[in-house]
């Protein structure tokens, strides 16, 4: 276990709301999580902080990108595997429905001007989002820029 | 020629305009101004646009004339369709031109041949003498204008009453209509005195018609005396100019009037009428001899002129003479019998009515009407004399085309002859296609051979050069050393050998080319022969059709007037004149007449359609010619299609459409090509045809949007360009051939947003605010792709903000319906927005165009979807698809939550994936932190959760991609009636328990890091495949169970609503699915209808989302709670009202007997209609069935059964063909999905299903006929989403005349086609989403 960081697991409450289990204690929001695991506020643990914030915000609807290169490789492979001739249909999720994400902008979680910035993939769609969380605010998810 | 104008212009400008208008017609508008007049003229701008220009130059719209400007040297001809042109305008114009130094005469030509001269009212023709050169009205002119205004108002006020009287079929009403028209003509021509008399007479006539007794004798007597006294005072002047016998006649008639006025008003009015006729006739004679006196006398008797002079008399006559006499008069007029002969005949018939009957009988006989149908025409004469006369005229036209033998045997023979000729033609066409293909192949080979020869020639040339070059490089080989000489010789030998080989290759290539050319010549010869054979066969077919045409036309006409829509007492009721207009079409084209009657019967205002049928028929006949007679070179079929669709458009849009169509045709714009491709013929391949049509529709939206958008970003549908574009959509042959009434309607609706004061400002601002995304916008590329596609620009085009605006307008002009690959779950909510809240729809389109994103109600942004069905409007579809993506994301989230619950939430050993913890141990199970990166390193538990998330995909499967079929779904046709979500693992759907267990096992092993075969791995396999585990997964779904391999049917309609509007919408049942045994269709239809009506009170807006859940009937769509058709059964006592308003009238229809002739006609019509497009084998069977038409009266149900019985052979054959096509296609689909294919020995088991489907198509065809015939009352309950630019489909509840049951139907608008809805729909659960 990392210095100062208690064990953290992701789970869901009986009502379906995302929770994080810090050691044995459940936290339903980021303040509680920070209280139970103050190390999350340490810039050293930004990645964990991003994962916790992401889980509490959207559960498994988004997943934090920790390895941008692996994400890029997987994304392009999946896109390539899709049949370009397949007829489109509403609700038919394909990466070819969109352009190519600006992979060079995708980075590991970090702090920018006091805000936590990380990238997360929408689990259903497979497309990346840039997430910005200002201090005391909820994370804001914006789809990463794309080119044709 | 550039636009020209004459306001404030020089003499040269006017001379130029004279010259220009001499060379080509110009549209023009002329208005009075303070200075005189302003004249705007243009070859390209519409009059509407010129009006604006005139007003801008001080023109007074109250005094204006517009139309077509032509010129001769020093003379302007102004042709106008308006009848109320101020008489002073020509004179004012002339003075104005003179004031700027141009001597030009001005003539204004009114409809009906009246011309306003610039000398009119000019006090002897010397305008200088009037002292009115300042352009102001003289007191006399002002008084005339005032009187004209007063008369115009009176005339306008009485028009509705005249029309109503005509529609009620009141005796004499038609004559009042003629008098009203004449009054209008007189007003326009300045004949105020005569107009006043006409208007007085019409008012008097209306007053009499209004009275139950019909005639007020005292008022009529007074009126007749007034008329007589006016005339009598002038008679001496006339009598002094005529010979003795005529004078005696005039005196005798005057005496007769004076006698009868005290005894018999009817006779008195006849005497007065004859007196006027004689006076007018003599006037004409005198006019030929001494024009000056004629003019003076003409004035003296009230300015009566040919064509209108006796209308007052006719009107009075019409309300005083007996109906029979009126009818005879009307008939004779319609037959074109001259007035004098009419009077003579009427007098003769009055004395001996039998002569009238004999006259009619002779007409019928001369028209070669079969004896057994003559009584029908006689009956028509009794009820509709004008229609009768038109029928006689049409029958004469038909007879002139050829033999019209309407006996069943002759018609069947003609049909068979035409069919044989068709088969021959099709066979020759097939042969021609084969020869053409062979010729194309030969041409390709010939071209290849020529290329080979050319290459061989190059080879020879190269070889020659190589030999020459080598020789040149060694000028003296003898000087070489022996070694070099040997090498040289060897090299030279090799080159010469190569040259020889090249020459041989050339010879071979030339021989091959010659052979190829010979082959091509042979193929060309064969093709020419095949083309000639095909041409001859086509000629034979055309001749056979032409030969059959007269009989078809005569039978069609006789059937229509005997028992069809034009027969006495038929519904909808038509006036005599309206019937006459429809009948006239039979003389032009029988099929057009038949189609027109169908349009008329389905129209909201059938009379209006009928009144314009004659106009459309005349345009069909002249090839939709312009004012100079230049017509379209179209096939009969295309002209017929154009005419029929013009009637449909008029039926939908009203009288104004026909006026606009006439104006458009006059202009000649129909002769220009259609840049959108609407004139192309339909393609055989269904998908290709869909794409072709989509491309046409997209082109139209682009053109209309571009025309309405101004450079400054504002929208102006009133601009000349926009008007031209809209005219193109409404009237151009391409628009009428590739017909898209729903799209045109959307264009009109969009136009209304920008012209309705309630929305105009907001709409303008919304468009103004729309622009391209900033260069650094995250999804600007997507936005630009959508904009470019929507406005028709290349992908890499330099787009502008106006392109973004045009894209939004184009999307607004495109109907948002369920596309061919659509899903109701995404379409229903967005369609409701588009239909009921167009401003929001425009807002949504604008946001996507400006950002390339759709932002769901929960704040999550989604890149706009850019992969869309080819050819469809990209921006419109992207909105729908992007919303669907947001909804699918939400739905996947819900499904994922369900799966998570099934896999993880159960307690107890062996019941959840939590038991993997005991297998791998706590250390591996729990997460840890990476000390270097700080990231949480997932343990097996988290890996397992993530893997389930990332490796299992949820995807909606709308159904198989090919036809429904008994073992298939129904979603592939864009109707999404059998779709469901599926879980995919490695791209394959998990459709059974074993596949599911395999997938979870694989995921769990990979997450754990243990392979099967290891202790831990085997333990994991045992856990996941254990019955306890499966039971707990299933139990997570509660009493209904949760089967991940067979997820709940249905889509994501509530999620779509949530993505659009937020909240937590949910569907609740309005009526549960039918129980067992299910109720009858009638009972269930009534129950569903009652449930919907009961829930309407809680629905919002004009469209409210509802859905069905049932067998092959999964659908989300919108109820229409405010549809007026439901008003008649709304609470209280819905049950009672359903009985009285729907069931009772329906039952009466179902019990009624269709007369034998009519039943036979319906039988044949249906079969002939069904033959279209069928293979030759099918056509032969249907031809055979046609021989056995009913010969006795029967109920609708009996007729339907008769059709089913006689078509049994066809049904079996057609079903077998469909089965033969479907079976391998279905197996291919199953194989592609990894599913077991159907064994060959099961194939025939499906035949019955296909036979039923074929019968349904047949039933639907007859049902449509029956519904049109009987028009039972209906309730429109829902908009289905199904439709597009051409039509829209609704769910309705109507009594079925052929079954006697209250039934649910699909109704296609605007055609009104009806198709029964399967009982599976009625038996479904019907829910409402709130």
Q: Give the strand pairing for B980-985 and B952-957.
A: antiparallel
- B1096-1109 pLDDT, tens digit per residue, is 988 989 999 999 98
Q: Do B823 and A88 touch (CB under 8 A)?
A: no
pLDDT at B592 over 60: yes
The CA-CA-CA angle for residues B616, B619, B624, to 5°, reads 130
Chain B residues with CB inside 8 Å of A92's CB? Answer: 955-956
Contact B1166, B1261 (CB under 8 A): yes
Which pLDDT value is given to residue B1172? Answer: 83
pLDDT at B830 over 70: yes
pLDDT confidence band for B118 (50 / 70 / 90):
confident
Chain B interface, best mutation among A27, A58, A89, by max B CB count within 10 A: A89
Q: Is A13 in CB contact (< 8 Å) with chain B? A: no
pLDDT confidence band for B257 (50 / 70 / 90):
confident
Chain B residues with CB inside 8 Å of A54's CB? Answer: none
Ranked by mean pLDDT, the top range of B340-349, B757-766, B1032-1041 is: B757-766
Which pLDDT value is given to residue B49? Answer: 75
The CA-CA-CA angle for residues B1051, B1052, B1056, to 5°, reads 150
pLDDT, average across residues B760-775: 96
Peptide bond into B1215 cis (omega under 30): no
B1134/B215 Cα distance (integer angstroms):
46
Q: Is A108 in CB contact (< 8 Å) with chain B? A: yes
pTM of the entire predicted model: 0.72
B97/B12 Cα distance (integer angstroms):
11
SS3 content of chain A, % helix, strand, coil (to 5): 35, 30, 40
pLDDT at B90 over 90: no
Q: Which residue has the higher pLDDT, B571 or A46?
A: A46
**Token digits of residue B560:** 């229509």
pLDDT at B960 over 50: no
Burial class (CB within 10 angstroms; exposed 0-12, middle 13-18, buried 19+) of B871: middle
Chain A residues with CB inside 8 Å of B778's CB? Answer: 142-146
* Closest-CA residue of chain A to B950: A123
The strand pairing partners of B1301, in sequence order, are: B1296
Chain B residues with CB inside 8 Å of A42's CB? Answer: 934
pLDDT at A125 over 70: yes
Q: Do A123 and B887 touch (CB under 8 A)?
A: no
Which pLDDT value is given to residue B42? Answer: 83
B1253 φ, ψ (degrees, to nearest 5): -65, -40
Nearest to A93 among B868, B936, B955 (CB): B955
Residues 22-41 of A with CB under 8 A from B: none
Q: Which residue has the higher pLDDT, B111 or B29?
A: B29
Q: Among B683, B836, B845, B665, which residue's Cα sits nearest to residue B770? A: B845
Nearest to A99 among B781, B880, B891 (CB): B781
- B794-804 pLDDT, tens digit per residue, is 978 899 999 99
Q: Do B954 and A124 touch (CB under 8 A)?
A: yes
- B1029-1086 pLDDT, tens digit per residue, is 999 999 988 888 899 998 877 678 889 999 999 999 999 999 999 999 989 999 999 9
Residues 43-72 of A with CB under 8 A from B: 44-49, 51-52, 60-61, 63, 66
B926/B909 Cα distance (integer angstroms):
19
**Token digits of residue B159:** 């028009």
Percentage of chain B beyond pLDDT 90 is: 55
Burial class (CB within 10 angstroms; exposed 0-12, middle 13-18, buried 19+) of B479: exposed
At B366 the three-state DSSP class reads helix
Which pLDDT value is given to residue B471? Answer: 92
Percentage of chain A beyond pLDDT 90 is: 75
B52/A13 Cα distance (integer angstroms):
70
Which pLDDT value is given to residue B3? Answer: 45
A123 φ, ψ (degrees, to nearest 5): -60, -35
Contact A109, A116 (CB under 8 A): yes
Distance from CA of B900 to the nearest CA of A (A): 10
pLDDT at A77 over 90: yes
Distance from CA of B554 to the nearest CA of A (A): 51
A75/A95 Cα distance (integer angstroms):
8
Across chain B, what does the average pLDDT equal? Answer: 86
pLDDT at B297 over 50: no
Q: What is the DSSP letter of B1138?
A: I
Number of H helices and E strands in chain A, helices first, is 3, 10
pLDDT at B21 over 70: yes
**Token digits of residue B1043:** 């089967």
Chain B residues with CB inside 8 Å of A125's CB? Answer: 862, 885, 889
At B290 the three-state DSSP class reads coil
Q: Is A74 in CB contact (< 8 Å) with chain B? A: no
pLDDT confidence band for B269 (50 / 70 / 90):
confident
Q: Give the strand pairing for B105-109 and B75-79.
A: parallel
- B1232-1244 pLDDT, tens digit per residue, is 888 889 999 999 8
Nearest to B927 among A3, A8, A45 (CB): A8
Q: Among B308, B212, B310, B210, which residue's Cα sits nearest to residue B269? A: B310
Distance from CA of B944 to the nearest CA of A (A): 12
Distance from CA of A60 to the nearest CA of B (A): 7
Would you say the C-alpha torsion B1043, B1049, B1054, B1055 has a positive or negative sign? positive
What ipTM did this prediction achieve? Answer: 0.96
pLDDT, average across residues B1297-1317: 88
Contact B807, A71 (CB under 8 A): no
């Amino acid at each position: 276990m990392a210095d100062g960081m208690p064990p953290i697991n992701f789970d869901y409450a009986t009502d379906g709301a995302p929770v994080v289990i810090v050691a044995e204690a459940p936290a339903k929001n980021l303040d509680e999580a920070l209280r139970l695991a103050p190390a999350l506020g340490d810039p050293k643990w930004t990645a964990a902080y991003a994962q916790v914030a992401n889980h509490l915000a959207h559960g498994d609807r988004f997943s934090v990108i920790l390895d941008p290169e692996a994400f890029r490789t997987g994304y392009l492979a999946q896109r390539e595997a899709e049949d370009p001739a397949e007829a489109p249909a509403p609700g038919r999720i394909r990466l070819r429905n969109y352009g190519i994400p600006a992979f060079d902008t995708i980075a590991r979680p970090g702090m920018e001007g006091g805000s936590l910035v990380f990238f997360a993939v929408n689990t259903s769609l497979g497309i990346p989002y840039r997430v910005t969380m200002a201090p005391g605010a909820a994370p804001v998810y914006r789809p990463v820029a794309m080119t044709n | 020629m550039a636009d020209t104008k004459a306001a404030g212009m020089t003499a040269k400008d006017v001379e130029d305009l004279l010259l220009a208008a001499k060379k080509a017609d110009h549209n023009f508008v002329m208005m009075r101004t303070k200075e005189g007049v302003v004249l705007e003229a243009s070859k390209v701008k519409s009059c509407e646009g010129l009006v604006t220009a005139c007003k801008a130059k001080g023109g007074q719209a109250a005094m204006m004339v517009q139309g077509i400007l032509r010129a001769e040297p020093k003379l302007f001809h102004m042709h106008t369709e308006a009848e109320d042109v101020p008489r002073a305008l020509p004179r004012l114009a002339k003075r104005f031109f003179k004031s700027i130094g141009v001597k030009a005469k001005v003539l204004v030509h009114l409809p009906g041949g009246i011309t306003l001269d610039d000398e009119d009212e000019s006090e002897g023709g010397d305008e200088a003498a009037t002292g009115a050169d300042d352009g102001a009205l003289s007191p006399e002119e002002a008084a005339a204008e005032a009187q004209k205004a007063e008369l115009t108002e009176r005339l306008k006020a009485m028009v509705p009453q005249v029309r109503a009287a005509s529609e009620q079929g009141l005796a004499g009403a038609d004559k009042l209509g003629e008098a009203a028209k004449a009054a209008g003509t007189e007003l326009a021509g300045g004949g105020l005195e005569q107009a006043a008399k006409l208007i007085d007479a019409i008012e008097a006539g209306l007053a009499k018609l209004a009275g139950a007794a019909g005639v007020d004798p005292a008022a009529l007597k007074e009126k007749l005396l007034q008329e007589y006294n006016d005339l009598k005072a002038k008679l001496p002047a006339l009598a002094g100019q005529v010979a003795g016998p005529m004078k005696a006649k005039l005196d005798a008639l005057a005496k007769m009037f004076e006698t009868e006025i005290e005894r018999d008003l009817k006779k008195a009015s006849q005497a007065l009428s004859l007196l006027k006729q004689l006076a007018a006739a003599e006037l004409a004679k005198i006019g030929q001899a001494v024009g000056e006196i004629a003019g003076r006398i003409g004035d003296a008797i009230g300015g009566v002129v040919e064509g209108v002079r006796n209308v007052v008399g006719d009107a009075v006559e019409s309300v005083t003479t007996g109906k029979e006499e009126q009818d005879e008069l009307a008939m004779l007029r319609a037959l074109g019998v001259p007035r004098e002969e009419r009077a003579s005949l009427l007098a003769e018939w009055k004395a001996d009515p039998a002569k009238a009957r004999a006259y009619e009988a002779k007409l019928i006989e001369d028209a070669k009407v079969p004896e057994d149908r003559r009584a029908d025409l006689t009956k028509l004469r009794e009820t509709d004399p004008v229609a009768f006369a038109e029928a006689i005229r049409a029958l004469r036209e038909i007879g002139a085309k050829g033999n019209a033998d309407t006996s069943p045997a002759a018609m069947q023979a003609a049909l068979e002859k035409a069919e044989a000729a068709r088969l021959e033609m099709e066979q020759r066409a097939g042969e021609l296609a084969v020869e053409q293909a062979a010729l194309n192949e030969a041409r390709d080979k010939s071209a290849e051979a020529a290329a080979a020869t050319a290459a061989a020639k190059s080879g020879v040339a190269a070889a020659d050069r190589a030999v020459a070059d080598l020789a040149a490089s060694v000028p003296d080989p003898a000087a070489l050393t022996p070694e070099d000489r040997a090498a040289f010789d060897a090299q030279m030998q090799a080159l010469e050998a190569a040259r020889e080989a090249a020459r041989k290759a050339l010879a071979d290539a030339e021989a091959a080319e010659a052979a190829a050319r010979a082959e091509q010549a042979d193929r060309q010869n064969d093709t020419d022969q095949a083309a000639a054979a095909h041409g001859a066969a086509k000629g034979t077919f055309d001749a056979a059709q032409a030969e059959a045409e007269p009989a078809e036309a005569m039978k069609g006409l006789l059937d229509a007037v005997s028992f069809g829509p034009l027969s006495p007492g038929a519904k909808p009721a038509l006036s005599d004149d309206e019937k006459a207009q429809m009948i006239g079409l039979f003389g032009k084209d029988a099929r057009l007449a038949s189609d027109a009657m169908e349009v008329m019967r389905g129209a909201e205002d059938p009379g209006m359609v009928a009144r314009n049928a004659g106009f459309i028929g005349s345009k069909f006949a002249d090839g939709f010619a312009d004012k100079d007679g230049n017509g379209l070179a179209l096939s009969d079929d295309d002209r017929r299609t154009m005419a029929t669709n013009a009637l449909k458009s008029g039926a939908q849009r009203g009288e104004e459409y026909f006026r606009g169509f006439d104006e458009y045709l006059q202009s000649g714009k129909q002769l220009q090509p259609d840049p959108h491709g609407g004139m192309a013929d339909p393609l055989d391949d269904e998908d290709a045809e869909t794409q072709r049509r989509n491309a046409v529709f997209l082109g139209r939206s682009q053109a209309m949007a571009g025309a309405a958008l101004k450079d400054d970003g504002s929208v102006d549908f009133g601009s000349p360009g926009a008007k031209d574009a809209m005219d193109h959509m409404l009237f151009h042959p391409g628009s009428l051939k590739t017909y898209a009434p729903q799209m045109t309607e959307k264009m009109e609706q969009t136009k209304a947003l920008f012209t309705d004061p309630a929305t105009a400002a907001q709409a303008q601002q919304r468009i103004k605010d729309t622009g391209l995304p900033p260069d650094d916008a995250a999804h600007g590329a997507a936005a630009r792709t959508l904009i470019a596609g929507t406005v028709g620009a290349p992908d890499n085009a330099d787009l502008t903000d106006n392109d973004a605006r045009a894209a939004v307008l184009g999307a607004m002009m495109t109907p948002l319906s369920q596309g061919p690959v659509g899903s109701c779950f995404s379409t229903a909510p967005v369609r409701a927005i588009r239909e009921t809240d167009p401003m929001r729809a425009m807002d949504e389109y604008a946001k996507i165009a400006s950002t390339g994103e759709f932002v769901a109600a929960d704040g999550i942004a989604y890149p706009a979807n850019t992969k869309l069905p080819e050819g469809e409007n990209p921006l419109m579809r992207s909105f729908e698809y992007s919303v669907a993506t947001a909804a699918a994301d939400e739905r996947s989230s819900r499904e994922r939550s369900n799966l998570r619950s099934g896999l993880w939430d159960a307690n107890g050993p062996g019941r959840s994936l939590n038991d993997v913890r005991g297998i791998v141990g706590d250390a591996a199970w729990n997460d840890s932190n990476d000390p270097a990166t700080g990231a949480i390193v997932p343990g097996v538990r988290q890996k397992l959760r993530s893997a389930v998330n990332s490796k299992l995909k949820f995807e909606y499967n709308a159904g198989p991609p090919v036809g429904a079929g008994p073992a298939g779904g129904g979603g592939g046709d864009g109707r999404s009636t059998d779709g469901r979500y599926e879980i995919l693992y490695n791209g394959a759907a998990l459709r059974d328990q074993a596949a599911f267990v395999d997938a979870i096992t694989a995921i769990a092993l990979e997450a754990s890091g243990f392979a099967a075969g290891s202790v831990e791995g085997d333990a994991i396999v045992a856990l996941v495949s254990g019955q306890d585990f499966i039971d707990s997964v299933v139990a997570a779904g509660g009493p209904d169970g949760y089967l991940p391999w067979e997820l709940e049917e249905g889509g994501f309609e509530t999620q779509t609503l949530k993505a659009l509007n937020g909240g937590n919408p949910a569907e609740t049942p309005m009526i549960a699915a039918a129980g067992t045994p299910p109720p009858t269709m009638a009972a269930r239809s009534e129950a569903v209808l009652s449930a919907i009506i009961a829930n309407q009170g809680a629905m919002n807006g004009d469209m409210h989302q509802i859905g069905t859940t049932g067998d092959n009937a999964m659908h989300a769509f919108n109820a229409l709670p405010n549809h007026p058709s439901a008003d008649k059964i709304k609470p209280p006592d819905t049950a009672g009202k359903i009985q009285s308003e729907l069931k009772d009238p329906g039952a009466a229809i179902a019990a009624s007997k269709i007369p034998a002739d009519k039943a036979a006609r319906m039988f044949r019509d249906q079969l002939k209609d069904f033959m279209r497009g069928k293979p030759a084998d099918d056509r032969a069977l249907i031809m055979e069935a046609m021989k056995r038409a009913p010969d006795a009266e029967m109920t609708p149900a009996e007729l339907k059964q008769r059709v089913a019985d006689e078509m049994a052979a066809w049904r079996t054959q057609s079903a077998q063909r469909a089965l033969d096509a479907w079976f391998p296609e279905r197996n291919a689909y199953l194989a592609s999905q990894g599913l077991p294919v159907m064994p060959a020995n099961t194939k025939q088991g499906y035949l019955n299903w296909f036979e039923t489907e074929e019968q349904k198509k047949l039933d639907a065809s007859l049902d449509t006929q029956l519904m049109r015939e009987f028009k039972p009352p209906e309730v429109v309950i829902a908009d289905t989403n199904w439709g597009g630019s051409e039509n829209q489909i609704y769910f309705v509840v109507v009594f079925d005349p052929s079954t006697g049951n209250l039934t649910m139907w699909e109704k296609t608008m605007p055609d009104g086609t009806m198709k029964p809805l399967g009982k599976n729909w009625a038996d479904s659960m019907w829910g409402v989403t709130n």
